[in-house]
Structure 1
Amino acid sequence: MTDTIFATDKKLYQLLKTGVNRARKEQRSLLVSLDRQLPAFDPLAYFAVGRQLFEKTLLWGRPTSDFCLVGLGASRTVAAEGRERFSVVKKAWSEILEGAIIDNSACLNGTGPLLMGGFNFTPQQQLSAIWANYPDAMLVLPRFLLTMSQGEYWLTTNIMVGPKSKVDELIKKVEQEWNMIERKATQRSWRKTFSTEIKLQEGEVESWKATVEQLTQDIKDERLEKVVLARQVDVKAEQSFSTTCILDRLRNKYPTCYIFAVGQGDECFLGATPEQLVKFEGDQLQTSCLAGSTARGSSKREDQLLGNQLLNSEKNQHEHLIVLRSIRNSLQKVCLEINISEKPKLLKLDNVQHLHTPITGRLKPDFSLFDLVKELHPTPAIGGLPKNIALELIRKREGIDRGWYSAPVGWINATGDGEFVVAIRSALVKDDNAYLYAGCGIVADSEPEDEYQETCLKLQPILSALKGELNEFTANNE
């Protein structure tokens, strides 16, 4: 990489010239996008720089799949409010791509123009100011997109041009921006040791347990199958959190999980989730059912015993079947075919193991990834069943604003391929404050103490990453 990769780029000059001429003719703004191959880089080095220089910085990756995206800045931000947020974003992305001038020589998924971002759990009047800067939908077309995929490293530059744009000025500006990014990425050492004492404010634990008890009665009265109840834990640190260090610990500790971050100003929503909502490529989709969980054992024998108990647990198998049936019913609306494994298997993570069933399918013509996300969210694993009644009970009983917790976060490219996950095992971080959420599926025979302990187990990964060392979070922290 050199200081002249843009200034001497004849292809970029010609693309921009063509774009400006078209913008003048059509009297509108349009997208010019060009990618180029780069030497190997650490995505987090650029994420750290992005947090310094830009209002919006985003990251998405899965370490074991050798895939990572880093979005620096925003050439265009698509935001939407209300129940039609999926449709609004779908239309806006189509309009951005209309007439766009794209040179995507990499031909790799994750290169070229794409949107990164996500949605909130459910459109509703906000109960707190915590999520004020995260609307019902927010997806970003990055100014600079860095992609690591299949052992290759690429930079995609997305530039919006208008009728009055001047090519030389556009190139000069993008050159200056990239030079600053490069200097800081090579000079800044963000891999510093970071640990801090944290204080937990769990809220009214006994009140939450009482809500579990109330929900079990609601489920019996309403003849529901399941409602997911979440709770919020506030964390206060002795110093400001380093979001880059938190992400570094998460990717090293949970390499099979999806590592994500959506930085908005001095706030950042981040996490390491094991739960894929849906992946789409061509006309093929991939999703999974992840419901039912237990702890990992302290020995191989104990771990196997706990796993076998989970596989044979009537309660957990029932919960898993509820989620699986709901996913199948949702997919039938948009799929030509659906393939589901016969029996769930164990998905073992560092501190928890889940029942897991892979699902594949083929999408009907004229449907998109946004349609899949709309149909699948929220799954019973984070909402309940029947969906609408469960969501109404969540609004009535939960008493918190979930924001983007347990909502779809991901990316979509110009051809419609992409992937979204369910943003659990996550936190919203701002300065020395962090807001964490964990939930569990409540059924008719749920025990409040057991459900509380399950939320404690689910909070451990992100709490450990926030603190910088292992932080055993159990009922003893009350």
Structure 2
Amino acid sequence: MIECKTEQHIKICGKEIATVQNAARTIQQLIDENIPELTETIAQPTLVSFQISLENCDPLSWLSQQASTTRLYWSDREASYEVAAAGETDRLFAEGEPHLTELILELQRRLASSSEDIRYYGGLKFDSSSPADHDWKPFGALLFVLPRYEMTKSQHGNTFTINLVIQHGNEVEQQLLAEIQTLQTLCSAAPVSSQPLPIASIRTDSPNQKEWQEIIDKSIQAFDSGCMEKIVLARKTTMVFSEELDPIRLLKQLKDVVNRAFHFYFQFDGTPGFIGATPERLYKRIGETIFSEAVAGTRPRGNSPEADLAFAEDLLNSDKDVREHQFVCKSILDVMDELCTDIQSPAQVSLLKLARVQHLYNKYSATLKKGYGDADLLERIHPTPAVGGVPKKEAIRQIAALEPFDRGWYAGPIGWLSRNESEFAVGIRSALMMKNQLHIYTGAGIVKGSEAESEWEEIENKLGSFLAIQQVNGTENA
């Protein structure tokens, strides 16, 4: 494990605004200019960040040219912040059933002396108590990295940053000169290919439709016995393609067909990549202010304004979907009552309208009480009844028993932390990429009165974002 034991952070910003084409020369000059001062200044392990401003940039195009075995991408739902990253300067990794509070506190210790734009990106396994299968093992129960190279595009400007740990001043010149040698290749960018994806020739569902019926029947029995009120059950759809997939091209096409979503890609050490476009924010923290959401219930979008309104009204008046949504609302408010003050909640439910589906939606804000932080929020909020169930512990136990696969990071918290801010989305509408295979994960909320066939169709609707890419590329989706 790479470990950054820095006690301080030095951030060096260039004054010149560069283009992507001359970024290598600009940052090389910035490094050269600062070698003498850094040699004299650094007497202990120090995180040093070199940052230049860019006129314009396309982080995804830049990422497509990076050969690093660790590649990350994150863009928020409002399209106000986008980052692509390659390589690692620091890593925090845990397997088994880690002590979440201790690990998040360790991340906060590493961030304590850094500037606000230093962020660790990563996520957590949905259920750390369940065994990890081979495909998910590299992701562990928790994994966060501080990227080595970052290209960021936001409403505040565009930047390219290199993060390095320098142990002592006498290593500065050698380390920075070695870094300069990689810059020309590192700063290259080219448009993401618009060529069609390979053809998907095989599709399998786990569970299949017959097995899905049996699992739903067992869930209904648990409701009848009184041990559960809701459970969210997922399906793993595996698509096999005619050749190896390009993850950046897939992500670009996913962004083209899915709006109002957190788009993400995580690949560590050349392992399988976790990719997706989730509509659901777990929470966002700005200082002591917390924002969270309740998202549940699903209907497709209509192909006309009248049809769309009919679907929306059906959703708003569905007893089953309203009950599902109320479980999520209550769960979030219970956490806020415990951890927060000044809770703001809406008077009535609204709708979150996405490209292909729409959901019941409530937005909440509150002020975190003194002494509480990200570890408390992650432990208390995750998993919400939107991806787990009610009661939480029994639903998680039943999910492990009923689902014939390991969820891994699917439906787990994914996002980033900085010194004073953090944001986590729920890792749904997602897939695990493995060479020429794509394992797509989708789920449906099950309550008393749910019907297996309609829940299967709901999952098909949610799967539509990935299937739409196949339709765009002229393949069959069945």
Equivalent of residue 83 in structure 2, options 50, 69, 86: 69
Aligned match of 1:190: 192
Contact 2:98 2:141 in 1 (8 A): no
- The superposition leaves residues 348-399 of structure 1 with CA deviations (integer Å, 9 ceiling, x where unpaired) of 1111110000111111123223332222110000000110011111111112
- The superposition leaves residues 154-180 of structure 1 with CA deviations (integer Å, 9 ceiling, x where unpaired) of 122211122486111121122223321
Q: In the aligned structure 2, how far is the partner of 1:47 from the partner of 1:467?
A: 26
- The superposition leaves residues 20-60 of structure 1 with CA deviations (integer Å, 9 ceiling, x where unpaired) of 31x1xxxxx3422343212211011122123xx21211110
- The superposition leaves residues 167-202 of structure 1 with CA deviations (integer Å, 9 ceiling, x where unpaired) of 11121122223321113x2xx443231232212111
Q: Does 2:454 align with 1:450?
A: yes
Aligned match of 1:361: 366
Q: In the aligned structure 1, how far is the partner of 2:172 from the partner of 2:472?
A: 47
Report the AA paired with residue 190 of structure 1: V
Q: In the aligned structure 2, how far is the partner of 1:139 from the partner of 1:208?
A: 34
Residues 242 and 464 (structure 1), Cα distance of their counterparts in 2 relative to 1, 3 Å cut = farther
Unpaired runs of at least 5, structure 2: 1-21
Over the residues paired in the alignment, what is the CA RMSD in angstroms? Answer: 2.1
Q: Does 2:34 align with 1:20?
A: no
Aligned match of 2:26: 5
Contact 1:20 1:166 in 2 (8 A): no
Q: In the aligned structure 1, how far is the partner of 2:336 from the partner of 2:279?
A: 21
Contact 1:464 1:471 in 2 (8 A): no
Deviates more, 1:194-203 or 1:382-391: 194-203
How far did residue 245 of structure 1 move?
A: 1.3
Contact 2:52 2:161 in 1 (8 A): yes
Q: In the aligned structure 1, how far is the partner of 2:177 from the partner of 2:470?
A: 40
How far did residue 470 of structure 1 move?
A: 7.1
Contact 1:460 1:472 in 2 (8 A): no
Aligned match of 2:294: 289
Q: In the aligned structure 2, how far is the partner of 1:406 from the partner of 1:433?
A: 20
- The superposition leaves residues 406-437 of structure 1 with CA deviations (integer Å, 9 ceiling, x where unpaired) of 11110111x23021100111101011011111
Deviates more, 1:228-237 or 1:366-375: 366-375
Secondary structure of the residue aligned to 2:129 is: coil
Secondary structure of the residue aligned to 2:64 is: helix
Aligned match of 1:270: 275
Aligned match of 1:90: 104
Unpaired runs of at least 5, structure 1: 24-28, 105-110
Q: In the aligned structure 2, how far is the partner of 1:465 from the partner of 1:62?
A: 21
Report the AA paired with residue 49 of structure 1: Q
Q: Does 2:433 align with 1:429?
A: yes
Q: In the aligned structure 1, how far is the partner of 2:216 from the partner of 2:288?
A: 41
Residues 378 and 32 (structure 1), Cα distance of their counterparts in 2 relative to 1, 3 Å cut = same
Contact 1:117 1:140 in 2 (8 A): yes
Contact 1:369 1:416 in 2 (8 A): no
1:234-313 alignment to 2 at 5 Å? 234-264=238-268, 265-313=270-318
Residues 311 and 470 (structure 1), Cα distance of their counterparts in 2 relative to 1, 3 Å cut = farther
TM-score with structure 2 length normalisation? 0.89
Q: Does 2:411 align with 1:406?
A: yes
Identity of aligned residues (%): 27
Equivalent of residue 172 in structure 1, options 168, 177, 183: 177
Equivalent of residue 203 in structure 2, options 185, 200, 203: 200
Aligned match of 1:123: 128
Contact 1:77 1:138 in 2 (8 A): yes
Contact 1:19 1:30 in 2 (8 A): no
Secondary structure of the residue aligned to 1:5 is: helix
Residues 463 and 172 (structure 1), Cα distance of their counterparts in 2 relative to 1, 3 Å cut = farther
1:296-375 alignment to 2 at 5 Å? 296-375=301-380
Contact 1:7 1:172 in 2 (8 A): no
Equivalent of residue 469 in structure 2, options 461, 465, 470: 465
Secondary structure of the residue aligned to 2:408 is: coil
Contact 2:28 2:183 in 1 (8 A): no
How far did residue 220 of structure 1 move?
A: 1.6
Secondary structure of the residue aligned to 2:210 is: helix
Residues 42 and 253 (structure 1), Cα distance of their counterparts in 2 relative to 1, 3 Å cut = same
Secondary structure of the residue aligned to 1:301 is: helix
Secondary structure of the residue aligned to 2:29 is: coil
Residues 19 and 453 (structure 1), Cα distance of their counterparts in 2 relative to 1, 3 Å cut = farther
Residues 430 and 400 (structure 1), Cα distance of their counterparts in 2 relative to 1, 3 Å cut = same
Deviates more, 1:460-469 or 1:134-143: 460-469
Aligned match of 2:186: 181
Q: In the aligned structure 2, how far is the partner of 1:120 from the partner of 1:272?
A: 17
Q: Does 2:418 align with 1:418?
A: no
Secondary structure of the residue aligned to 1:202 is: strand
Q: In the aligned structure 1, how far is the partner of 2:352 from the partner of 2:23?
A: 44
Aligned match of 1:150: 155
Residues 64 and 15 (structure 1), Cα distance of their counterparts in 2 relative to 1, 3 Å cut = farther
Deviates more, 1:209-218 or 1:79-88: 79-88
Q: In the aligned structure 1, how far is the partner of 2:50 from the partner of 2:271?
A: 29
Q: In the aligned structure 2, how far is the partner of 1:65 from the partner of 1:161?
A: 34
Residues 157 and 127 (structure 1), Cα distance of their counterparts in 2 relative to 1, 3 Å cut = closer
Report the AA paired with residue 35 of structure 1: Q
Report the AA paired with residue 207 of structure 1: E
Residues 125 and 313 (structure 1), Cα distance of their counterparts in 2 relative to 1, 3 Å cut = closer
Secondary structure of the residue aligned to 1:4 is: helix
